[in-house]
Structure 1
């Protein structure tokens, strides 16, 4: 299997799964944490958990990203390629911001010690891997 296919399948699956998790969070789930307070501190570092609109907005963005990285809409390949490149760029910026300890520039208030630790260990590496795989899928598929 070609590397762009593997990268595309990985990116699309991961982005769609993350969209699903955000929908669940928007519906009130705290998974994988025991309660909404722990969830809030680990995910956004604010006293209250993100609301349904915020969670569902992120879910929509992730779902759209999955479609774009997957080469959709096929009838508008230039739009698909531009959108997928945007997905890769946004994920790359988010990953670099987290590693540098500056996620708060992108999401004000994201500064608790727990959030920063998780950001450097989990969130930022995931964003960088997804950004890189999305870029590989996009660039190699459209050559």
Structure 2
């Protein structure tokens, strides 16, 4: 039986490490999209940005689009980190892990014990579903990207090359990591 506990601990560690890495990559990518709302950095010109990152057009996409993608990537980063146990989950479960008294939380919220438990389970289920959706979107982008951006839509040669070498493989790796967290997260880390 001692080996079982070690295996569970190893699984929890693997989920935390994977979730932390995926979350960090999503956060950095989100921050980069936020930067693109105001500048084509690290590229020099909007035209060079359009060629390498967008694959079409004359420059950086509208600021609103960049910020929307940045926000979605930030939310995805949080969901993965919370499900992996790297960050505290929101709601009553997160408060308990942060050291708050469960009885105090229920008393302040005016919620009965069974209602608090059901709410925590629903939130965990919604978080897990969110992580699985993140995994699905990333995997779909990674697998379909070379086909969609290489054959179906007209994109620049530079973008197609970068997409096949970097963008799509990164999406597949992040999607696989998010999937591992989404299917092992809470059960492995006792979230």
TM-score in terms of structure 1 length: 0.88
Query: Is 1:16 matched with 2:27?
Result: yes
Q: Distance in 1 between matches of 2:178 and 2:149?
A: 21
Q: Is the 8 A contact 2:36 2:60 kept in 1?
A: no
How do 1:55-134 residues align onto structure 2 when only pairs under 5 Å count?
Answer: 55-71=66-82, 72-73=89-90, 74=94, 75=120, 76-99=123-146, 101-103=147-149, 111-134=155-178
Whether the 8 Å CA contact 1:69–1:138 is kept in 2: the answer is yes
Conservation of the 8 A alpha-carbon contact between 2:15 and 2:184: yes
Report Cα offsets for 1:12-31 as digits up to 9, x if no partner.
1011111110110002x222
Structure 2 stretches lacking a partner, 5+ long: 1-9, 83-88, 95-119
Mean Cα displacement is larger for which, 40-49 or 71-80?
71-80
1:54/1:35 CA distance change after superposition, 3 Å: same
Q: Which stretches in structure 1 are left out of the alignment for 5+ residues?
A: none
State the secondary structure of the residue aligned to 1:68: helix
Per-residue CA deviation, residues 20-45 of structure 1 (Å, 9 max, x unaligned), is 10110002x22221211101111112
Decide whether the 8 Å contact of 2:150 with 2:160 is kept in 1. Answer: no
Matches within 5 A, 1:11-50: 11-27=22-38, 29-45=39-55, 46-50=57-61
* Count of equivalent residues: 139
Deviations 1:57-113, CA, capped at 9 Å, x for gaps:
1001101101111224454111100000000000000001123x31379xx856211
Q: Distance in 1 between matches of 2:185 and 2:26?
A: 18
Q: Aligned to 1:136, which of 169, 175, 180?
A: 180
SS in 1 for 2:36: helix
Deviating beyond 2 angstroms after TM superposition, the runs of 4 or more aligned structure 1 residues are: 71-75
Q: SS of 1:142's equivalent? A: helix
Alpha-carbon distance in 2 for matches of 1:33, 1:110: 22
Pairwise CA RMSD: 1.9
Larger-Rg structure: 2
